[in-house]
Amino acid sequence: MTTGVGDIRRDPWLKASIDAFADTVRGLGPVLDVGCGPGTVTAYLAERGLDVSGVDLSPRMIENARRLHPECRFAVASATELDLGEASLGGVLGWWSLFNLPRDVLPQVLALFARALKPGGHFITGTHVGDEDAVRTEAYGDVPVRWTTHKWRPEQLVNLIEQAGLNPVAELRLPPTEYSGPGLVVMAKRPG
């Protein structure tokens, strides 16, 4: 059972990206899904035999993730405060979860991820494409929220990933749909 959030099975290109990531990092070491939300992708990767765990800033998300996927490990943590050992991970995901980070904070988080990857380990991210900072004040119908989505131009985000010390290996541009604006998936590798 899933909440429908993050259900990559509904989108062949997102599914293909995550499958490629899974095939690439299999056997390289633990995988961390940062900003895992309700754990849909975490559980998908676990089903594919990866040693994966998820973290999310939101205790409610983690509560849901644990309820929906009791077989997986989840913890409440912010991407900005993760205590990750150097070269301890085979893979790290920032799957549609890094666009809320302030623009000047994202480079530090990418550097943290790069350091935590083993040489040959991979990072994958998906994000919204654009120039603007979109402020949202309601979600899920009429629940009041306050969050900002920092959209990125593909070349800007790829530059940041390179500056963090990772080598991009694939970029997938997703055109706007009826439901969302344009998107971008980038996979990158720690050299070595």
Give the residues lining the site for ligand SAM (CB under 6 A).
5-6, 34-37, 40-41, 56-58, 61, 78-80, 95-97, 100-101
Residue with tokens 């009041």: 144
Q: Minimum distance from CB of 60 to ligand SAM (Å)?
A: 8
Q: Minimum distance from CB of 103 to ligand SAM (Å)?
A: 13
Strand-pair category, 89-95 with 143-150: unpaired
Q: Minimum distance from CB of 52 to ligand SAM (Å)?
A: 12
Q: Which two tokens stand for residue 148?
A: 């900002």
Cβ-based nearer residue to ligand SAM, 32 or 166: 32
By Cβ distance, which residue is nearest to ligand SAM? Answer: 6
Spell out the long-range contacts of 144-151 with Cβ–Cβ below 8 A and sequence spacing 24 or more. 147/100, 148/100, 149/99, 149/100, 150/99, 150/100, 150/101, 150/102, 150/103, 150/106, 151/99, 151/127, 151/181
Cβ-based nearer residue to ligand SAM, 145 or 192: 145
Cβ-based nearer residue to ligand SAM, 105 or 169: 105
CB 30 within 8 A of CB 51: yes
Cβ-based nearer residue to ligand SAM, 34 or 52: 34
CB 91 within 8 A of CB 166: no
Q: Minimum distance from CB of 22 to ligand SAM (Å)?
A: 15
Q: Minimum distance from CB of 1 to ligand SAM (Å)?
A: 14
**Using CA atoms, how far apart are residues 37 and 171, in angstroms rounded to an integer?**
23
What residues pair up with 75 in beta bridges, in sequence order? 55
Q: Minimum distance from CB of 152 to ligand SAM (Å)?
A: 15
Cβ-based nearer residue to ligand SAM, 13 or 167: 13
Cβ-based nearer residue to ligand SAM, 133 or 167: 133
